[in-house]
Amino acid sequence: MNPGKLNKRITIYKDTDKQDDYGEPLDKKIVLHKCWASIKNKSGTEQFKADTPFSKVITSFLIRYTRKVIDTTMKIEFKNETYNIIYVDNYNFSNECIEITAEKVS
């Protein structure tokens, strides 16, 4: 892995399940990991649902290996855009880098 290609800053976070005094969900993020990543758009499609166009963008984030647990309940923030994590892969089980596949939230 060429560390020079990890040139985009991302934040991996989890939404809280906490509620305020009135039972309303708190809109708060728990930041779990900030790191540098290499980013590639894997695919992008435009589809129609109920005669309304929407786009589906799948993106691959390559980061250095971390012992912190990253799973599909977490999200990624990159350039004020949110991505839902779909799949996490310890690249070739080498413990050098992790490939995260995520879908952009529209």
33 CB contacts (<8 Å, ≥6 apart)?
Answer: 11, 12, 66, 68, 70
**pLDDT tens-digit profile of 47-69?**
556 566 667 889 999 999 999 99
Q: Which pLDDT value is given to residue 83? A: 97
Task: Write down all domains in the chain, each with its CATH number in brackets.
Answer: 3-104 (2.40.10.270)
Listed as own residue / partner, the contacts of 40-49 with beta carbons closer than 8 Å and 24 or more positions apart are 42/101
The token duo for 66 is 């971390």
Mean pLDDT score of the chain: 87
25: β partners: 19
Q: Which pLDDT value is given to residue 70? A: 95
DSSP assignment of the chain, as one string? --GGG--EEEEEEEE---B-TTSPBP--EEEEEEEEEEEEEEEEEEEEETTEEEEEEEEEEEEE--SS---TT-EEEETTEEEEEEEEEEGGG-SSEEEEEEEE--
pLDDT classification of 94: cutoffs 50, 70, 90? confident
pLDDT classification of 3: cutoffs 50, 70, 90? confident
- Other CB atoms within 10 A of residue 69 CB: 9
What's the rounded Cα separation, in Å, for the pair 41 and 7?
15
Q: What is the mean pLDDT of residues 3-25?
A: 86
Q: Which pLDDT value is given to residue 54? A: 65
**pLDDT tens-digit profile of 26-39?**
778 899 999 999 99
**pLDDT tens-digit profile of 96-105?**
999 999 999 9
